[in-house]
Structure 1
Amino acid sequence: MGNWGGKYLRQTAFRAALAALLLAAVLCAGASAQVADGGPPLEGEAYAAAETAYKAFGQGDYKASAASAAEAVALRPDLLRLHLLLIDSLVAAGDLPQAEQATKVASAAFAGNQELQGRQANIRQRLALSPASEGYKALEKGDAKAAVRAARSAVDYVPDSMSYRLLLLNAQLADNNLSGALETVTEAIALDRANYVPLVWRGYINQRLGKRADAVSDFNAALAIPGLTASQQKNIRLISADAALASGDFNAAMELLGSYSRTDPKVITRLTDAEGASQRRGVLQNNGNTMPTPVQECSTSANGVSCELEAPAVLSILTPVASPEEKAAAEIFEAKERAYRAERDKDYELAIVEARKAVQLEPEVAASRLLLINILMSAGRPAEAETEATKAIGAGHSSAEIYAQRGYARGKLKKFGGAMSDWETALKRGLPPAQARSVRLSLADAALTSNEPMRALRALQKLAVGYDTSIRKAYALQALGRKEESLAEFRTAERFATTAVQRDGALRAQINTLVELDRKPEARIVFDQAIAHGRLGSVRDADVGYLAVAVGNDEVALARFDRAHGNGQLPARATIDAGYTAMRRFENPKAIAYLMEGIDAKANGRIDIDDQKLFETRRTVSDLARVWGINTSVSYGKVGSAPNPFLTTTAPSSYTSQLGTEFYYRPEGFGYRNGAIFELFGRLFETLYDQSGGPTGGRTTQGMVGARWKPFSNANLVFEVDRLIALGDAARDDTLLRALYSYTVGTDLRVLDASWPTWYVYAEVDRFLEKRQLVAIMEGRFGRSFRLDAISSNLVFFPHAVLAANYDDSFANRSAYSAGAGGSLRYWFGGTKYTAPPSYWELTLQYRWRLAGDQRAQGIFAQTSINY
């Protein structure tokens, strides 16, 4: 595109055109500011302003003249002479944009006035000079788009200027905007139908657009314009002949040029090509949409700027041919060569065109068809490659290579069944060893993807041992459940690997396979040795972290998760896993931060976990963040159904009601260690009601302080030491040792299920040391929880059956056994975006029937409690 300035603008021609336009503008600008009209005489301020303006204009102070004239126009807008004075002053001052605006205002008031029209034309002509100059310069520099913008601006100012329209046309041609150029040249033809230049340009454009008939019509119309000089007619004919030769119409070219002397180089070259083609001495290298570009020359005269077109000098486009057989062979060879060359240059469109031409010239040759298929695959067009391969196979012109290539095309299209069949056919027909190996490996890959591991093993069985074969055999054996054999193949693959990526991949698969074989200690050893020797370096930190979790090395796992997070490479899905890893490492603040990041990732749609998994993550955050809590309960039931911290005892058959409140503190540094818990607490108990008339209220206030420890993460076994402090005369001072165990299923809130099975078993043994007493209780509740969504999604109803047993050596009848039924209502509250509801209120009501032992086993048992 960059040589368009040289083709169209011929150095000083346009600069001369600019000079002519500037001369005309200066001559027109000499119009006098002293113009009279037939309006009423000026008076007062308007007169004074006008007089000042005229004087300033006469003195050459055009800015002052324009200012006073504007004042006069504002006072007397009905006077044309004042408008003309303002316009002339602005033009003389060089303020052309304001002058144009003043002409628009005056034209609105004095429509059709010739003086105004003349001034407006002059102003717009001068305004057009700057963008026109920019357009010419941009074309000379090869900046077509800038030239188009500038030329459009010039045309907008002076739409009847042929030179500006031709400038816009040249810029659009340089920008290869043929449709825009066609529109511009059609407008230019309408502007001056006696000018042959735009007609010839339109013929050229139509020829390039493939509109041969329209091009011929335009060239003929140009030749028919009266008054053309001999030189103009000759150039039109030469340009028209170029279009004819580009379309292979040698007869039209000979007709156009036959009357001219053969001594003209421009004539003889074109005529010789046309005659050679007509006599079949050669073939025209033609393309109907291309032809040599005409050369435009512009000059200036007293009448303005005029442009002419010349036919360029051209080289012969005739290719000599020999015999028909030689010609055909040469054409096939050249098509293939062009196809190979275009493919190397990644010009796939041209390569495909030439390869298709080769197939058309020798459709029975499988090699030409294979060339087309290969190029289509290189161009990333597997669907077309499959179609061409199918055509070749259907026509009986196939080969093993074509079956193989159709297999690759179908593999790209994820048609794995057809791909495998094609590859198996190609192998049966016979392929060179290197290609056969590639096909077998691809066949194995497709079989593994299609979950046909035996087919993969058959494809690999004839191949020599190596990384490529062993790694695929390993995955096939793994898919068949033959994990011990797959482990051996992974080790072989590691041994034959040639890159770190291959070695690390095989090693990683070994470790995972050992874990799947329940050989976790061995997997841990292999993993630890790999880390110690700097292996697995090509595996992403997050994936090494997961591998470390699988073998139980949380130290390395957390370090790799941390490193990936610090580098911004930790996948969102891994943040929750990193949080649990940090929790197992007792790094609770870090665990909370990771888990909260995972919760945010769920909220932002960056990870996809269900709402129950999200709830469990929030529950973990609640547990990790808890530092203190309060438990308060009011119970009602038979004496002896629960441990009695009071000094007095009441008849076993009597009902009592007791209030208990506990405040506990969980030390932040070590109170929660991956589910192992240590807490300090203080308690107060008081009897609220005694059916037998025993002491109640302040006399029964019992204090306790102590500590409890849950040593195991996965077993809810708790050991406790209490010091009882008598705060009332019916309380006691004592030391209590307790052991508690519970196993629960479904006792927490759920968010996906509306109902779920729930049961738990609770056992407790209490030993008072000073007033010797041994108490043991056991209780099991079995039922189903129902979330009462109609009221609140946090409210759960738990109807259940209950079995209970009690032992207390302070009673005459030490044992009591019962069974019953009851229900609980539990309302969870206090949850946030990051924490599951940590607190609940619960109401339980049961009736139990004595099965054996003391009567205290039978009756109503009720409790309400708040766990905060």
Structure 2
Amino acid sequence: MRERNSSMRSLSYGLLLAFAVPIQVSAQEGGDPQQPFRDFEAGRYVAAEQGAEAALAQDPDNPVWWALLAEARSENRRFKDAAAAFSRAAEEDPDAERRSYFRRAQTLNLVYADLHAEARSVLREAMGDPSLATRASLDWAMVAIAARDDEAAQEILNNEALYADFTRQSALDAGYSAKRSGLDSRAVRFFQAGLAIDESEESRLSPVERENIRREIRELERDWSFIAQGSFSTAGRPSGLSAAPLDDERALQFGAEISRRIGGWRNGKPFSVFARVYHSEFLGDDAVIGNATQGWVGARYKPFSSLNFNVEASKLIGLDSDAIDDWSLRGAISGGQGLEPEVGRSQWTYAHYYGDLSYLIENDVAFGIVEGRVGRSFALGDRSNVITPYLVVRADLDTGRQEEGAFGAGAGLTMRHWFDETDTVAWRGFIDFDVQARQRIVGDRRATGVLATITVGR
């Protein structure tokens, strides 16, 4: 964190000016005690540093000279040395308010020097000193965030009286800190406060920045989800939530899943329980030749906050004679760009990858899908409707078949409608219609065909 805090700078110079009269008494003989301050005010930081050092040679216990020396060193980007000088200023000053400021400045300069562990040590020591009133100061909460001590920041922010002093940026910083701490409802409150304050700012957040915060709120508030899907395939298994082998390439399938988060967003590592039911119709030339209704109950965990990878364990429950009873282990990963409407743009690049591998323990069968898409998305009207033509490559594996692998490529088209948004929450639901046609490149003939899917999610 290299960006300087302008409010801290103005406060520090005001403190130095307040000390000017006592300095005159102890200044070096024959010198001008105000010159180092004039040098500092004029941006001559090297001269200000030299002046402060000369004064300290004669008056080594004067906190004002230590403070001026610290400020000048900080402006000269000697952050570690500045922190040491602020520490000495705090030791020499009897006034608790000024000592609190000097300790904050010491902590921040250690942050600027990338000495975060040392910064947290100073922070914790200050919080142990009741005279510094750290828990009554929003400035201390922001310093704790800068020092990467979210626990300390949120301890300070337990004091709700501090919220009246929020600026837009301090509210948003507090929100991200609360999110990292797993305090979802508090994070939502802080993000909403930041968006509200932004309404009266001269320099507003950009539409993209506001949208990113609205998406943060959406994820933090989402404690349950529902998805329903129907598909028709002449080209192997659909790429949706079904996780059991199909007995024929031509199949009609529909079903739904509901899931519930346990313990909230957990800073990007949510844990969920779910129940799922899918019904498959296997088609011959002119009739249904078989069907199966399959149920699942299980749990899902996302172990990495920065990667959309989920691991799943479930119990398969056969709901008719053609379905199976088994235990399943599953891993799924997805990501890309341009997956949601981009603010201020009528078209954008779309890229999406998806991978899914499952293993049925009792049947000793593994099956999976890897699919990649690249295309161009076009917004229609208010961006709630998006159409995306794309190219696709796809490979699938099924160790229960004689020909285990298949790989094909082709083209597709997705039409998606987004719904359910508010001023502070991004779109939470969608209806998606997707159709793709692929041609086999290698492997089994199931790589050739058409797959049409309609999905509703919330």
TM-score, normalised on structure 1?
A: 0.44
Is the 8 Å Cα contact of residues 327 and 361 (structure 2) preserved in structure 1?
yes
User: Displacement, 1:836?
Assistant: 1.4
**2:340, 2:30 → 1: CA distance?**
63
Structure 1 segment 497-508 matched on structure 2, within 5 A: 497=93, 499-508=95-104
Structure 1 equivalent of residue 418 of structure 2: 828
- 2:31 matches 1:441: no
Amino acid at match of 1:665: R
Is the 8 Å Cα contact of residues 786 and 797 (structure 1) preserved in structure 2?
yes
Structure 1 equivalent of residue 322 of structure 2: 730
Is the 8 Å Cα contact of residues 168 and 195 (structure 2) preserved in structure 1?
no
- 2:231 matches 1:639: no
With 852-861 and 636-645 compared, the bigger mean Cα shift is at 636-645
Is the 8 Å Cα contact of residues 294 and 320 (structure 2) preserved in structure 1?
yes
**2:51, 2:349 → 1: CA distance?**
51
- 2:169 matches 1:552: no
User: Displacement, 1:457?
Assistant: 4.4
Question: Which of 157, 181, 187 is matched with 1:585 structurally?
Answer: 181
Q: Deviations over 1:570-603 (max 9, x none)?
A: 4454333333333333333333333333333334
Structure 2 equivalent of residue 664 of structure 1: 259
Structure 1 residue matching 2:157: 3-state secondary structure:
helix
Structure 2 residue matching 1:557: 3-state secondary structure:
helix
Amino acid at match of 2:306: N
Structure 1 segment 406-417 matched on structure 2, within 5 A: none
Q: Deviations over 1:314-336 (max 9, x none)?
A: xxxxxxxxxxxxxxxxxxxxxxx
Is the 8 Å Cα contact of residues 541 and 563 (structure 1) preserved in structure 2?
no
User: Structure 1 residues 692, 433: closer, same or farther in 2, change over 3 A?
Assistant: farther
Give the aligned CA root-mean-square deviation in angstroms: 3.4
User: Displacement, 1:632?
Assistant: 1.3
Identity of aligned residues (%): 27
- 2:431 matches 1:841: yes
**1:867, 1:658 → 2: CA distance?**
17
Is the 8 Å Cα contact of residues 618 and 836 (structure 1) preserved in structure 2?
yes
Structure 2 equivalent of residue 414 of structure 1: none
Structure 1 equivalent of residue 371 of structure 2: 779
Structure 2 equivalent of residue 805 of structure 1: 395
Gap runs ≥5 in structure 1 = 1-430
User: Displacement, 1:840?
Assistant: 1.0
Question: Which of 263, 266, 273 is matched with 1:673 structurally?
Answer: 266
Amino acid at match of 1:548: A
User: Structure 1 residues 849, 543: closer, same or farther in 2, change over 3 A?
Assistant: farther
Structure 2 equivalent of residue 764 of structure 1: 356
Amino acid at match of 1:690: L
User: Which stretches of structure 1, 4 residues or more, deviate above 6 A after TM superposition?
Assistant: none
User: Displacement, 1:473?
Assistant: 4.2
Q: Highest relative contact order (Cα 8 Å, sep 6+), 1 or 2?
A: 2
Structure 1 equivalent of residue 275 of structure 2: 682
User: Structure 1 residues 716, 502: closer, same or farther in 2, change over 3 A?
Assistant: same
**1:536, 1:816 → 2: CA distance?**
68
User: Displacement, 1:550?
Assistant: 2.2
User: Displacement, 1:768?
Assistant: 0.6
User: Displacement, 1:831?
Assistant: 0.7
**1:552, 1:765 → 2: CA distance?**
37
Amino acid at match of 2:155: A
User: Displacement, 1:604?
Assistant: 5.1
User: Structure 1 residues 645, 622: closer, same or farther in 2, change over 3 A?
Assistant: closer
Is the 8 Å Cα contact of residues 39 and 45 (structure 2) preserved in structure 1?
no
Amino acid at match of 1:817: F
**1:480, 1:823 → 2: CA distance?**
57
Is the 8 Å Cα contact of residues 141 and 153 (structure 2) preserved in structure 1?
yes
Structure 2 residue matching 1:787: 3-state secondary structure:
strand
Is the 8 Å Cα contact of residues 326 and 363 (structure 2) preserved in structure 1?
yes
User: Structure 1 residues 602, 689: closer, same or farther in 2, change over 3 A?
Assistant: farther
Structure 1 segment 75-114 matched on structure 2, within 5 A: none
Is the 8 Å Cα contact of residues 350 and 374 (structure 2) preserved in structure 1?
yes
Is the 8 Å Cα contact of residues 687 and 696 (structure 1) preserved in structure 2?
no
User: Structure 1 residues 797, 499: closer, same or farther in 2, change over 3 A?
Assistant: farther
From the two aligned structures, give the one with the greater helix fraction: 1
User: Displacement, 1:810?
Assistant: 1.2
Question: Which of 590, 594, 599 is matched with 2:195 structurally?
Answer: 599
Is the 8 Å Cα contact of residues 231 and 238 (structure 2) preserved in structure 1?
no
Question: Which of 57, 79, 93 is matched with 1:483 structurally?
Answer: 79
Structure 2 residue matching 1:464: 3-state secondary structure:
helix
Amino acid at match of 1:656: A
Is the 8 Å Cα contact of residues 612 and 751 (structure 1) preserved in structure 2?
yes
Is the 8 Å Cα contact of residues 341 and 383 (structure 2) preserved in structure 1?
no
Question: Which of 719, 723, 739 is matched with 2:311 structurally?
Answer: 719
User: Displacement, 1:721?
Assistant: 1.9
Structure 1 equivalent of residue 115 of structure 2: 519
Structure 2 residue matching 1:624: 3-state secondary structure:
helix
Structure 2 equivalent of residue 301 of structure 1: none
Structure 1 equivalent of residue 10 of structure 2: none
Structure 1 segment 731-746 matched on structure 2, within 5 A: 731-746=323-338
**2:194, 2:379 → 1: CA distance?**
27
**1:728, 1:457 → 2: CA distance?**
83
User: Structure 1 residues 829, 726: closer, same or farther in 2, change over 3 A?
Assistant: same
Is the 8 Å Cα contact of residues 561 and 570 (structure 1) preserved in structure 2?
no
Q: Deviations over 1:294-342 (max 9, x none)?
A: xxxxxxxxxxxxxxxxxxxxxxxxxxxxxxxxxxxxxxxxxxxxxxxxx
Structure 2 equivalent of residue 629 of structure 1: 225
**1:819, 1:647 → 2: CA distance?**
21
- 2:215 matches 1:649: no
Structure 2 residue matching 1:609: 3-state secondary structure:
coil
User: Structure 1 residues 513, 803: closer, same or farther in 2, change over 3 A?
Assistant: farther
Gap runs ≥5 in structure 2 = 1-26
Number of aligned residues: 426
User: Displacement, 1:472?
Assistant: 3.9
User: Structure 1 residues 696, 560: closer, same or farther in 2, change over 3 A?
Assistant: farther
User: Displacement, 1:766?
Assistant: 0.4
Amino acid at match of 1:795: N
**1:538, 1:532 → 2: CA distance?**
9
User: Structure 1 residues 472, 852: closer, same or farther in 2, change over 3 A?
Assistant: farther
Question: Which of 574, 579, 593 is matched with 2:170 structurally?
Answer: 574
Structure 1 segment 54-453 matched on structure 2, within 5 A: 436-447=32-43, 453=45
TM-score, normalised on structure 2?
A: 0.80
Larger Rg: 1
**2:352, 2:114 → 1: CA distance?**
31
User: Structure 1 residues 731, 434: closer, same or farther in 2, change over 3 A?
Assistant: farther
Structure 2 residue matching 1:632: 3-state secondary structure:
strand
Question: Which of 704, 711, 714 is matched with 2:296 structurally?
Answer: 704
User: Structure 1 residues 671, 743: closer, same or farther in 2, change over 3 A?
Assistant: same
User: Displacement, 1:496?
Assistant: 4.3
Structure 2 residue matching 1:731: 3-state secondary structure:
coil
Structure 2 residue matching 1:715: 3-state secondary structure:
coil
User: Displacement, 1:544?
Assistant: 0.9
Structure 1 residue matching 2:423: 3-state secondary structure:
coil
**1:641, 1:572 → 2: CA distance?**
46
Amino acid at match of 1:557: A
